[in-house]
């Protein structure tokens, strides 16, 4: 949600693990080719497990998106926003920030997948955002269905819809080399900006348009303040996420990686030109002799 699938480099971490542990296995009785085959198989198995998990998550998110879209609880503007964002990202990937993976090769591209390497505190921050932004609002919506509180369901559903679209988009483009780091970093940025306005509407609904009955029991009071606190908590978290992480740290890091890769491509092209010119000069010298 804060660029989690883009900020953590699962593929590069896996490659780094397999390459750094290989020299430590020299004392094993297996030959080096056997060790390489064994590590390759282990890497494929681990990668298959990760990709399998992502497939399950993506299918669940697609189910959420379809249910939310068909329920009539999501405004038309929020339904159209993911389509506009996807088209805009594809346009950026084609014309503004094309990927350099073809010229850099597979190894360099794998290394460039990781935009931001987070610490343990950052991972705790991500888990907190997942809880506040996804799990608790989902529980709030399901509880609203169970309690017959249509107002609560209608208030929180647009946020969940956009968040599901964001996570699905992040999971999909993180595995496609077509999208460069700046384009991938813009996914959480664009969705977070829109969701902040949606959360403001959510706060307006639960704080202004909804009142607690005078004869409410303790469970209704707890539910009422849970909805208010959840809306404010989401607004606080994603505002901090936008202005303190995505804009000042995540987006500049993505552009830094992108321009470093572009400079590497340019240097390789210059080297290729020089080597081609030297080879041509050598051939002319040989013909003249």
Task: Assess if residue 135 is contained within a domain.
Answer: yes
Task: Assess if residue 230 is contained within a domain.
Answer: yes
Domain tally, the chain: 1
Task: Assess if residue 248 is contained within a domain.
Answer: yes
Task: Assess if residue 6 is contained within a domain.
Answer: no
The residues, any chain, with a CB within 8 Å of residue 137's CB and separated by 6 or more, are 156, 159, 160, 163, 230, 234
Task: Assess if residue 102 is contained within a domain.
Answer: yes
The answer to whether the beta carbons of residues 86 and 165 sit under 8 Å apart is no
pLDDT at 87 over 60: yes
Going by pLDDT thresholds of 50, 70 and 90, the confidence category of residue 119 is confident
pLDDT at 114 over 90: no
Q: Return mean pLDDT, the chain.
A: 78
Distance of CA 112 to the CA centre of its chain: 14
Mean pLDDT of all residues in 172-187: 89
Residue 238 has a pLDDT of 97
Task: Assess if residue 201 is contained within a domain.
Answer: yes
Q: What are residue 179's DSSP bridge partners?
A: 98
pLDDT tens digits, one per residue of 7-60: 444 444 433 433 333 344 344 444 434 444 444 444 443 334 433 444 676 677
Domain residues for the domain of 70 are: 53-271
The residues, any chain, with a CB within 8 Å of residue 57's CB and separated by 6 or more, are 167, 171
Q: Which of 100, 57, 89, 50 is nearest to 261 (CA)?
A: 100
pLDDT tens digits, one per residue of 255-277: 998 888 887 877 777 776 777 76
Proportion of the chain in helix, strand, coil states, percent, rounded to 5:
85, 0, 15
Task: Assess if residue 57 is contained within a domain.
Answer: yes
Burial of 119 per CB tally in 10 Å (0-12, 13-18, 19+):
exposed
Task: Assess if residue 103 is contained within a domain.
Answer: yes
Query: Between residues 285 and 246, which one has the greater pLDDT?
Result: 246
């Amino acid at each position: 949600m804060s660029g989690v699938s883009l900020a953590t480099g699962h593929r590069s971490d896996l490659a780094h693990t397999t390459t750094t542990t290989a020299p430590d296995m020299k004392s094993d009785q297996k030959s080096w080719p056997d060790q390489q085959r064994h590590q390759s198989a282990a890497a494929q198995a681990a990668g298959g497990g990760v990709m399998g998990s992502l497939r399950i998550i993506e299918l669940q998110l697609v189910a959420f998106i379809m249910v939310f879209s068909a329920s009539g609880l999501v405004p038309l503007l929020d339904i159209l926003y993911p389509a506009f964002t996807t088209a805009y990202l594809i346009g950026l990937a084609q014309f503004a920030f094309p990927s350099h993976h073809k010229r850099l090769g597979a190894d360099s591209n794998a290394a460039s997948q990781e935009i931001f390497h987070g610490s343990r505190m950052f991972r705790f921050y991500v888990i907190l955002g997942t809880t506040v932004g996804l799990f608790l609002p989902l529980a709030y919506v399901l509880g609203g269905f169970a309690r017959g509180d249509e107002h609560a369901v209608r208030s929180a559903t647009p946020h969940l819809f956009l968040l599901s679209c964001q996570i699905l988009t992040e999971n999909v483009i993180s595995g496609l080399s077509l999208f460069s780091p700046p384009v991938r970093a813009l996914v959480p940025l664009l969705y977070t900006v829109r969701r902040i306005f949606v959360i403001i509407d959510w706060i307006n609904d639960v704080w202004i348009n909804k009142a607690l009955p005078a004869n409410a029991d303790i469970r209704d009071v707890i539910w009422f303040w849970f909805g208010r606190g959840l809306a404010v908590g989401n607004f606080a978290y994603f505002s901090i996420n936008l202005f303190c992480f995505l804009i000042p740290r995540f987006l500049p890091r993505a552009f830094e990686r992108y321009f470093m890769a572009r400079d590497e491509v340019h240097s390789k092209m210059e080297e290729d030109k020089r080597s081609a010119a030297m080879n041509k000069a050598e051939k002319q010298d040989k013909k003249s002799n």
